[in-house]
Structure 1
């Protein structure tokens, strides 16, 4: 059984994770601050990171399937790159929320540089306690952020509340094999790294769990797509880069302070036991809505 953690303590841990030097420098150095994986075609170079990132963002826009001008919530927006792509290419009006004020400030700066201020807004907020009125959005999405939630059920209820009837929910998230169905070293690795990276919901999201929780929150689940092989090239690049430093951090007993490096190496090594999935659901229309 995986126990839930309190939201307040988890928020502190998520902020700590993203503020630690390894996270700040790593994301900036390799991905220009973007905090999600890329999606590859078979002919792509695995090192063509920017191209893969934009393609993953395009997959989000295509899966949301909203007309230009639709109002969309980015739950855990980071520095706003996904929102910027959805606004610039798909014409969506996106409001992003994030726990880190530094992320929100950076997202606003990037929106201004892209001349997308008229489509993009951002605020410092917890998506587990949204302050938007009911039925405020045509669509809601997460891009590798629900795994950080302390209480995924509470978050999904918030998403359901702020979506209009018939609105679309799309979540690009991780899921894993049950601990009893993987070797002990792999199970121990998931438990330890999910703790250090403040991802309690990834620890909970064994295969099928997120689909069940989404349905229990009142959504009609449209489907789940495993796109792991499309993101593996980037993960493998990070594993190659991190192998030598990771060994050094282990030797120096600094593993907790190098969680991103170790995650790249270990999640690649144990890739048979987890997936990168696209979850799509709709808020059910009720009579009269």
Structure 2
């Protein structure tokens, strides 16, 4: 339990617990905490439809079915887990280090009639306490960037995953520092500090699969879906442009998500950021 109360974990929990952050996710993303997937790379569907496409992509990558026991590492308020449990019938355990999210996720599950298929626990995904070889599958949805020690987190995933089990990590990667301008580098560092993105710099372009292999996983694959995510990022960018005077008036620290949305579209468009899906399997030994 001590791992739950580290300084880094408390910073992550404070970030997600702030009223501005909670309202932003609720109003702008409908309570979800991930981007949408636009199959054609154009905004020809609603953001809600695109979010569901992204969640279905998780199911496809895990080959999800009703007999699976699945871990969502960083469950937010249950938007993804409840959808997957309801549509595919899998039993999903969501863990978070942000206390209010557990009650919110439980309420969502009850409202959607899937309380018997999902459960939520207050746990650090780097030190869960689950038994060895416990889960059939593990996924993340834009949460690993909060880990201060990516190798430790991947090692924990490896420990609690059954042999033959699959991980699917939906995460950003970033270019080497030298590809950023001075201002871009400062904006990135500011965002990392104030959104508690302690692990983001471990996700370098074309390098993260090596960390997955180093942990012991095999058959690792990387799929770049930046083009399909770009319409979602651009939508947030347009909203951020509209309210950016608040950032200028009160400071970026007070509106860190608006600040990020304003800049990240340019990062992805210029190849400094990518949105990738990483999959791998724990070998049978």
Query: Would the alpha carbon gap of residues 118 and 237 (structure 1) be closer, same or farther in structure 2, given more than 3 Å must change?
Result: same
Question: For residues 15 and 72 of structure 2, what CA distance do their matches in structure 1 show?
Answer: 20
Q: Does 1:282 align with 2:281?
A: yes
1:257 to 247, 254, 257: 254
Q: CA deviation at 1:89?
A: 1.4
1:82 to 80, 83, 95: 80
Secondary structure at the aligned position of 1:200 is classed as coil
1:98 to 96, 99, 114: 96
1:246 corresponds to: 244
Post-superposition Cα deviations, 1:69-97, rounded to whole Å, max 9, x if no partner, equal: 10000000001111112111121110000
Question: For residues 206 and 126 of structure 1, what CA distance do their matches in structure 2 show?
Answer: 23
Secondary structure at the aligned position of 1:134 is classed as coil
Query: Would the alpha carbon gap of residues 77 and 265 (structure 1) be closer, same or farther in structure 2, given more than 3 Å must change?
Result: same
Q: CA deviation at 1:124?
A: 1.1
1:13 corresponds to: 11
Regions of 4+ moved over 6 Å: none
Summarize the alignment of residues 160-239 of structure 1 with structure 2, pairs less than 5 Å apart. 160-239=158-237
Q: Does 1:270 align with 2:267?
A: yes
Asked if 1 retains the 8 angstrom alpha-carbon contact of 2:221 and 2:278, the reply is yes
1:4 corresponds to: none
Q: CA deviation at 1:244?
A: 3.5
Unmatched 5+ residue regions in structure 1? 1-6
Aligned residues: 280
Unmatched 5+ residue regions in structure 2? none
Q: Does 1:131 align with 2:129?
A: yes
Post-superposition Cα deviations, 1:109-148, rounded to whole Å, max 9, x if no partner, equal: 1111111122111111111110111111000110000011
Asked if 2 retains the 8 angstrom alpha-carbon contact of 1:46 and 1:237, the reply is no
